């Protein structure tokens, strides 16, 4: 099969340019590998089971051939169980992220790690939310108590996750309690989920799907919320910041280091040491050191430090192909093993940092919070040493750079609204929704996927929504897509419906800006917690449940199990979640109906139990129409026109 035209692989002209360069140099990228890899029909529909050595068993489509596995498991059990496996993987990733940060805070306040608490106000707010007495305690004492509360969520044997009790909407909690879904501790629930997936474990498909909901709650509270809260405490709560996007942020005359992965513990230190060691870079003939972001580490640094973002998931190999990247430092998640193969054609050094995420052929500099400074220095010095190893014939950096705004934490959004109504900051937003000036809100989240034309579905869906006066908030790699195509900038309001444009202009002007952008960048994937916090605040203000709000979530170009875990968390709260990529469950009618409520009067559906459902639609324009109709139905139920 011939390779696709690079114009059909990404909307980003810089990425197209690098893809063409890679092909000329005989280098394989994820986009070309995707074209060569046929997707298996059994795996694509979720009907292949590998849970024991009697298999693999796979169920033939249309009733022709074997309809049960060797053990007798039918297609519904197999699909539901595979879905639980996927959601468990995603949840484990986020729980491990949160636990690492909790541990870092403990080390920091005990003087064992070189970090200091940056946001005392957030610390106090989180401590109070967790029910801690804050009176007369100094910062380190309080931070220690918060970290211990966090670590309890990985240890306690009774009760409910502390972070769930702190952050969840009370109406949602009542519902989960009634259904017996409340998680005790993250490790216990992840272990239990693994145990129920095992051969001869849970075979009831509906029960397995309810198990995924508990996983979703672990993901939400012991993953997303805990990570965001603790990172804000340790590194500061984001404020609006000017940002730059695209491969043009890589600078020819500088030592370029990209940070890639998710946990900001290392990334923050790399930025710090890049500043401190710039004279050493000058000594080798560079003008300085330029740190650029990739994926969610990029988002974390962008939100708090204004560090420019080079690229998102699907095109993570492209910074190397510019020939001007001295080092790519990675921690966990979304790091393609193919990076090292590409890097071996250039002078770029891939540096892994965690003992449980290594790559053969890459350099490993072990990172731990205790030796954070040493590790970051070593990494920056390696990058400096690589500057002289560049091959000038291989350097070609696309020159486009797009300007955007990021940093819209809930705290920042409330601050901006205070300029309109100091006493009652949520009122202007609620009034605009009630009057229909803002039809509703959609969270555009998730990834890019080399099987989908990069950025195209993210951008098309966002355009369609803002045209219809829907406010878009964005996180993760999809926020990069919107940033690159002008939707995180006030200029993007030219694509917005008139009433949305008017209100965002008014709020912006009250804050001394020309306008707010039509899409607000709220952070990394764990920062989907910020979106949930905003929804919780709006629901409480109106005295309704989150499920009643005219809102939805969408991940048009997802690729990662984490996205399905996050999606499950939002569905459990009654928010519809659209996915634009095959969720690999279509082999079971039962599973499809439980998740999507496609068939009327199906006995058990997530829509019936929680008020939110899965929407699977690959065409972004059709997906926007479905989302808009659901938003309108939820408005109507609230008595709004």
Task: Work out what residue 34 binds among ligand XCC, ligand SF4, none; the CB cut-off runs from 5 to 8 Å by kind.
Answer: none
Tallying the residues shown for the chain, one arrives at: 641
Residue whose CB is less far from ligand XCC, 296 or 413: 296
- As given in the structure block, the two tokens for residue 631 are 């938003």
Task: Work out what residue 334 binds among ligand SF4, ligand XCC, none; the CB cut-off runs from 5 to 8 Å by kind.
Answer: ligand XCC
Q: Does 69 bind ligand SF4 (CB under 6 A)?
A: yes
Task: Work out what residue 69 binds among ligand SF4, ligand XCC, none; the CB cut-off runs from 5 to 8 Å by kind.
Answer: ligand SF4
Q: Is 334 annotated as a binding residue?
A: yes
Shortest Cβ 590–ligand SF4 spacing (Å) = 16
Q: Does 54 bind ligand SF4 (CB under 6 A)?
A: yes
Q: Does 199 bind ligand SF4 (CB under 6 A)?
A: yes
What is the C-alpha end-to-end distance of the chain, expressed in Å?
Answer: 52
> What is the enclosing helix (H) or strand (E) of 153?
none
Residue whose CB is less far from ligand SF4, 59 or 447: 59
Q: Which of 59, 241, 267, 334 binds ligand XCC (CB under 6 A)?
A: 334
Task: Work out what residue 52 binds among ligand SF4, ligand XCC, none; the CB cut-off runs from 5 to 8 Å by kind.
Answer: ligand SF4
CA distance 67 to 77: 12
Task: Name which of residues 227 to 266 contact ligand XCC (CB under 6 A).
Answer: 262
Distances (CA, A) of 574 to 14, 26, 331, 596, 634: 39, 48, 33, 13, 11
> What is the enclosing helix (H) or strand (E) of 391?
none
Q: Is 447 annotated as a binding residue?
A: yes
Q: Which of 20, 34, 52, 148 binds ligand SF4 (CB under 6 A)?
A: 52
Task: Work out what residue 313 binds among ligand XCC, ligand SF4, none; the CB cut-off runs from 5 to 8 Å by kind.
Answer: ligand XCC
Q: What is the DSSP string of 461-519?
A: HHHHHHHTTEEEEEEHHHHHHHHHTTTTSGGGGGGS-HHHHHHHHHHHHHTTSS---SE
Q: Is 345 annotated as a binding residue?
A: no
CA distance 432 to 446: 27
Shortest Cβ 69–ligand SF4 spacing (Å) = 2
Contact between residue 595 and residue 614 where contact means Cβ atoms under 8 Å apart:
yes
- As given in the structure block, the two tokens for residue 7 are 């114009």
Task: Work out what residue 525 binds among ligand SF4, ligand XCC, none; the CB cut-off runs from 5 to 8 Å by kind.
Answer: ligand XCC
Q: Is 57 annotated as a binding residue?
A: yes
Contact between residue 182 and residue 160 where contact means Cβ atoms under 8 Å apart:
yes
Residue whose CB is less far from ligand SF4, 75 or 546: 75
Shortest Cβ 96–ligand XCC spacing (Å) = 14
CA distance 444 to 459: 10
Q: What is the CA radius of gyration of the chain?
A: 24
Q: Does 296 bind ligand XCC (CB under 6 A)?
A: yes
Distance of CA 209 to the CA centre of its chain: 22
Contact between residue 438 and residue 503 where contact means Cβ atoms under 8 Å apart:
yes
Task: Name which of residues 462 to 481 contact ligand XCC (CB under 6 A).
Answer: 476-477
Shortest Cβ 443–ligand SF4 spacing (Å) = 35
Shortest Cβ 58–ligand SF4 spacing (Å) = 9
Contact between residue 342 and residue 320 where contact means Cβ atoms under 8 Å apart:
yes
**Coil, strand or helix: which one is 629?**
helix
Backbone φ, ψ for residue 242 (5° rounding): -85, 140
Nearest to 559 by CA among 313, 267, 204: 313
Q: Which of 94, 122, 347, 560 binds ligand XCC (CB under 6 A)?
A: 560
CA distance 558 to 616: 12
Contact between residue 255 and residue 387 where contact means Cβ atoms under 8 Å apart:
yes
Q: Which span sits near ligand SF4 by CB under 6 A: 47-55, 102-110, 606-614, 630-638?
A: 47-55
Burial 121-143 (b: 16+ CB within 10 A, else e): ebbbbbbebbebeeeeeeebebb
Shortest Cβ 187–ligand SF4 spacing (Å) = 25
Pairing of strands 349-352, 289-294: unpaired
Shortest Cβ 487–ligand SF4 spacing (Å) = 45
**Coil, strand or helix: which one is 554?**
strand
Q: Which span sits near ligand XCC by CB under 6 A: 102-110, 369-377, 429-437, 556-564?
A: 556-564
Shortest Cβ 49–ligand SF4 spacing (Å) = 3
Q: Does 635 bind ligand XCC (CB under 6 A)?
A: no
Task: Work out what residue 504 binds among ligand SF4, ligand XCC, none; the CB cut-off runs from 5 to 8 Å by kind.
Answer: none
Q: Which of 13, 23, 55, 144 binds ligand SF4 (CB under 6 A)?
A: 55
> Which residues, including other chains, have CB under 8 Å from residue 356's CB and lie 6 or more apart?
none
Residue whose CB is less far from ligand XCC, 171 or 305: 305
Query: Total number of residues binding ligand XCC (CB under 6 A)?
Result: 13
Task: Name which of residues 308 to 327 contact ligand XCC (CB under 6 A).
Answer: 313
Q: What is the DSSP string of 288-309?
A: -EEEEEEHHHHHHHHHHH---E
Residue whose CB is less far from ligand SF4, 199 or 604: 199
Shortest Cβ 60–ligand SF4 spacing (Å) = 13
Q: Which span sits near ligand SF4 by CB under 6 A: 26-34, 45-53, 591-599, 607-615?
A: 45-53
Q: Is 296 annotated as a binding residue?
A: yes
Task: Work out what residue 105 binds among ligand SF4, ligand XCC, none; the CB cut-off runs from 5 to 8 Å by kind.
Answer: none
Looking at residue 177, the DSSP 8-state letter turns out to be H
Q: Which span sits near ligand XCC by CB under 6 A: 205-213, 434-442, 558-566, 602-610?
A: 558-566
- As given in the structure block, the two tokens for residue 240 are 């609006």
Nearest to 325 by CA among 382, 273, 271, 284: 382
CA 532, 536, 539, 544 torsion-angle sign: positive
CA distance 45 to 151: 38
Q: Is 262 annotated as a binding residue?
A: yes
Q: Is 52 annotated as a binding residue?
A: yes
Q: Does 218 bind ligand SF4 (CB under 6 A)?
A: no
Looking at residue 3, the DSSP 8-state letter turns out to be P
Query: Total number of residues binding ligand SF4 (CB under 6 A)?
Result: 14
Contact string 25-44 vs ligand XCC (x = CB under 6 A): --------------------
- As given in the structure block, the two tokens for residue 270 are 């790399």
CA distance 533 to 524: 15
Binding site for ligand XCC (CB under 6 A): 262, 295-296, 313, 334, 446-447, 476-477, 525, 560, 562-563
Binding site for ligand SF4 (CB under 6 A): 49-52, 54-57, 69-71, 73, 78, 199
Annotated binding site for [4Fe-4S] cluster: 40, 48-49, 52, 57, 71
Annotated binding site: 40, 48-49, 52, 57, 71, 262, 296, 334, 447, 477, 525
């Amino acid at each position: 099969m011939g390779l696709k035209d690079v114009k059909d692989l990404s909307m980003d002209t810089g990425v197209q340019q690098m893809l063409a360069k890679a092909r000329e140099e005989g280098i394989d990228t994820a986009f070309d590998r995707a074209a060569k890899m046929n997707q298996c029909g059994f795996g694509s529909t979720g009907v292949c089971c590998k849970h024991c050595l009697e298999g693999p068993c796979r169920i033939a489509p249309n009733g022709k051939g074997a309809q049960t596995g060797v053990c007798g498991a039918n297609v519904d059990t197999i699909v539901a169980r595979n879905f639980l496996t996927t959601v468990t993987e995603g949840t484990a990733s986020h729980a491990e992220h949160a636990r690492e940060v909790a541990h870092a805070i403990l080390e920091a306040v005990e003087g064992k790690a070189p970090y200091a608490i940056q946001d005392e106000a957030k610390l106090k707010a989180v401590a109070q939310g967790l029910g801690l007495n804050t009176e007369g305690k100094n910062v380190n004492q309080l931070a220690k108590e918060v970290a211990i509360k966090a670590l309890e969520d990985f240890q306690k044997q009774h009760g409910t996750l502390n972070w769930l009790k702190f952050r969840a909407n009370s109406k949602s909690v009542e519902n989960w309690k009634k259904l017996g879904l409340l998680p005790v501790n993250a490790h216990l629930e992840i272990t239990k989920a693994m145990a129920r997936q095992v051969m001869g474990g849970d075979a009831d498909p509906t029960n397995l799907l309810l198990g995924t909901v508990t996983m979703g709650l672990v993901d939400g509270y012991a993953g997303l919320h805990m990570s965001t809260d603790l990172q804000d405490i340790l590194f500061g709560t984001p404020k609006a910041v000017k940002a730059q996007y695209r491969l043009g942020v890589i600078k020819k005359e500088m030592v370029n280091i990209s940070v890639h992965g998710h946990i900001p513990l290392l990334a923050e230190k790399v930025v710090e040491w890049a500043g401190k060691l710039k004279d050493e870079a000058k000594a080798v003939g560079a003008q300085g050191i330029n740190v650029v972001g990739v994926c969610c580490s990029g988002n974390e640094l962008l939100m708090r430090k204004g560090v420019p973002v080079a690229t998102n998931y699907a095109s993570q190999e492209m910074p190397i192909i510019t020939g001007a990247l001295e080092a790519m430092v990675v921690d966990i998640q979304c790091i393609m093993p193919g990076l090292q193969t590409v890097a071996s054609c250039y002078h770029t050094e891939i540096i892994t940092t965690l003992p449980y995420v290594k790559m053969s052929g890459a350099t490993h500099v072990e990172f731990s919070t205790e030796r954070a400074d040493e590790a970051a220095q070593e990494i920056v010095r390696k990058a400096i040493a690589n500057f002289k190893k560049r091959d000038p014939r291989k350097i070609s950096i696309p020159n486009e750079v797009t300007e955007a705004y990021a940093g819209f934490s809930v705290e920042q959004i409330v601050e901006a609204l205070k300029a309109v109504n100091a006493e009652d900051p949520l009122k202007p937003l609620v009034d605009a929704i009630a009057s229909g000036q803002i039809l509703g809100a959609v969270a555009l989240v998730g990834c890019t996927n080399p099987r989908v034309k990069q950025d195209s579905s993210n951008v098309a869906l966002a355009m369609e929504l803002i045209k219809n006066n829907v406010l878009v908030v964005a996180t993760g790699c999809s926020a990069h897509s919107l940033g690159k195509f002008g939707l995180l900038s006030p200029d993007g309001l030219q694509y917005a419906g008139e009433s949305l444009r008017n209100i965002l202009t008014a709020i912006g002007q009250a804050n001394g800006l020309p306008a707010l952008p039509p899409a607000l960048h709220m952070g990394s994937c764990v920062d989907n917690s910020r979106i949930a916090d905003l929804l919780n605040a709006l629901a409480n203000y109106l005295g309704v449940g989150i499920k009643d709000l005219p809102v939805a979530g969408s991940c048009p170009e997802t690729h990662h199990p984490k996205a399905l875990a996050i999606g499950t968390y939002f569905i459990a709260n009654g928010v519809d979640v659209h996915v634009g990529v095959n969720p690999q469950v279509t082999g079971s009618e039962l599973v499809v109906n439980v998740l999507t409520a496609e068939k009327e009067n199906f006995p058990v559906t997530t829509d019936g139990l929680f008020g939110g459902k899965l929407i699977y639609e690959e065409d972004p324009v059709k997906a926007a129409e479905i989302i808009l109709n659901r938003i309108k139905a939820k408005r109507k139920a609230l008595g709004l026109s």
